[in-house]
Amino acid sequence: MEISWRGKLPRDSRFNGPLRFNRVRNPEDALVPWRERIKHFTWAWFGCTLSTSAVGVLLGLTPHRFPGLTTIGKIFFIFAIVLTVAFSVCICVRFYLVRPALRNSFIHPTESLFFPTFLLTLLNLLMAVQIYGVPEEGSWLIVALRVMYWIYVAVAFITAVVQYLDLFAAPAQRLTIQGMIPAWILPIYPCKLIGSLTAVLAPSQPPGHRVAMIVAGLTFTGLGWMVALLMLAAYLQRLLAYGLPAPNLRPGMFISVGPPSFVAIGLIGIADALPPDYWYLNKHPLAVYVLQPVADFTAIFIWLLGFWFFCITLLAVLAGVKEMSFHLVWYAMIFPNAGFTMAMIRIGNSLESPAILWITSVLTAMLVAMWFFVFGSMVRAVIKRDILMPGKDEDKDQFKEDDEQYGVRAPPM
In tens, the pLDDT along 101-158 reads 888 888 887 888 899 999 999 999 999 999 999 888 778 899 999 999 999 999 999 9
| Gap between the Cα atoms of 249 and 244, Å rounded | 9
pLDDT of residue 55: 96
Residue 99 has pLDDT above 90, yes or no: no
Average pLDDT over residues 311-318: 95
| Gap between the Cα atoms of 239 and 179, Å rounded | 10
Helices (H), 243-284: 258-272, 280-283
- Is the domain spanning 26-397 CATH 1.50.10.150? The answer is yes
Beta-carbon count within 10 A of 242 CB:
16
Q: pLDDT of 48-75, one tens digit each?
A: 999 999 999 999 999 998 889 999 999 9
Q: Which residues have C-beta within 8 Å of that of residue 268, sequence separation ≥ 6?
A: 199, 295, 296, 299, 346, 347, 350
Confidence of residue 348 (pLDDT cuts 50, 70, 90): very high
Average pLDDT over residues 5-26: 42
Phi, psi of 18 (to 5 degrees): -70, 150
- Greater confidence (354 vs 10) lies with 354
pLDDT of residue 109: 77
pLDDT of residue 9: 40
- Greater confidence (350 vs 413) lies with 350
Per-state percent for the chain, helix, strand, coil, to nearest 5 = 75, 0, 25
pLDDT of residue 26: 56
Beta-carbon count within 10 A of 9 CB:
11
Q: Do the Cβ atoms of 389 and 40 come closer than 8 Å?
A: yes
Average pLDDT over residues 217-224: 94
Residue 79 has pLDDT above 70, yes or no: yes
Arithmetic mean of pLDDT over the chain: 84
pLDDT of residue 284: 78
Confidence of residue 30 (pLDDT cuts 50, 70, 90): low
Average pLDDT over residues 213-220: 94
Percent of the chain with pLDDT over 90: 56
pLDDT of residue 253: 92
Q: Which residues have C-beta within 8 Å of that of residue 344, sequence separation ≥ 6?
A: 303, 356, 359, 360, 363
Q: Is 25 helix (H, G, I), strand (E, B) or coil?
A: coil
Question: Chain centroid to CA 36: how far?
Answer: 27
Q: pLDDT of 168-191, one tens digit each?
A: 886 544 667 776 778 889 999 999
Average pLDDT over residues 261-275: 92
Average pLDDT over residues 259-271: 94
Question: Which residues, in sequence order, are bridge partners of residue 12?
Answer: 17
pLDDT of residue 396: 66
Sorted by where each begins, the domain ranges of the chain are 26-397
